[in-house]
Structure formats: C-alpha cells, structure tokens
Amino acid sequence: MTFEVRPLDEATWPAFAALVEANGGIFGGCWCVGMHSEGFDPRGAEGNKERKHAMVRAGTTHAALVFDGEECVGWAQFGPPAEVARIKNRPAVEKGYPQPDWRIGCCYVGKGYRRRGVNGAAIAGAVDLIRELGGGLVEGYPEDAADVAAGFLFHGALSTYDQLGFTRERKVGKHRWVVSKQV
C-alpha cells in the first residue's frame, strides 16, 4: 500500500478534522493538543478542536499527515520541545540529558489502517519535514508493541523507530523508550 505524507496546515485541516471526528476526538477529545504547552482546553473536545485549529492557522503546531488518496488515515505530531512540552514521563526523560531540537509526540492511526505501515509512514514523514525545517536531534518516545495494544500506541511502536534508524537511548517507565536520530 502506498501512502502520501503532507504537512498539517490550513489546506489539510479538513481531512485531519474528519479523521479526528470519525474517531471520537481521539482519546476522549484530545484533538492532539494534550502534549502542547497549553495542554487541554477546559471546555473539552470542542475547545480542544478550536485550540488545535487556531494553532494550525498560527503555524504553531506541526504534524505529518498520512493520506490514502484524499483521506487522512493517520499522523505523527512533532515540534520543538517548547511546542511539544507535555510529554509523558517528562522528568525521567529530561533528567541529566540535553534537550533535543525536535520531539515526535503523539501518533495516531485510524481504525482499519492499523498495522498496515501508516505509523511508519507518519514518523518517516515527520523526519522528512523536520529535515526541511533545518533538522537537528530528533527524539521519540515509543512503547514496546509487544506489551501495549495497537490502539494505545499513541507514541508509536519501538520496532517502527528501530526500522527507521533511530537509536535506543534509554528506557523510561515500564514500556517506554527514549530514541533519537540526528537529521
């Protein structure tokens, strides 16, 4: 199966929004704002949607969207640490280590497309977009897929990062790893 990767912007917003809406706002209405420095909107899913769209219009959010034809079927969110600030296990991730230039935060693959290469296309697309934006040290925070159900791999699978040439740096938590790649 061949996918196309496009950046999240005003032109791709409708396709991104359609995927999120078709999947209940993603994880209870997150709309992929949970890792941003502002966090969740107190108004819930509708507020998160408005917040995400405002960030898209302002150019203060980044994602590699994966398309099957004109349908958005997944994504990988990325950004500098100030943009993707609210990562899980943050104290353990950052303690004693320099900050990366970029973080790959959350990933999502729509139902019916899981375990078909969408996550790999999204992460590879994020790396390509980061390269276009000047590159640098990229970190990801995947989980070992053998221990976590596919629907909950919102940081991506460790094996996917391995296949894309990321280096395993250290384990944080029970299932999560810090991986990195110089781009």
Radius of gyration for the chain, computed over Cα atoms and rounded to the nearest angstrom: 15
| 150 DSSP 8-state letter | G
pLDDT value at position 131? 98
In this structure, what token pair is assigned to residue 68? 């099957």
- pLDDT surpasses 90 at 169: yes
Helix axis angle, 13-22 relative to 45-58, nearest 10°?
Answer: 160
- 22-26: Cβ within 8 A, 24+ apart: 22/110, 23/108, 23/110, 23/111, 25/49, 26/108
pLDDT in tens, 44-99: 889 989 999 999 999 999 999 999 999 999 999 999 999 999 888 888 888 888 89
Beta bridge partners, 78, equal: 62, 104
Give residue limits of the domains in the chain: 4-182
pLDDT in tens, 4-17: 999 999 999 999 99
The predicted structure's pLDDT at residue 151: 60
Which CATH architecture best describes the domain 4-182? 3-Layer(aba) Sandwich (3.40)
* Contact yes or no for 24/108 (Cβ under 8 A): no
pTM above 0.85, yes or no: yes
Which pLDDT tens digit goes with each residue over 142-163?
Answer: 988 776 666 666 788 899 999 9
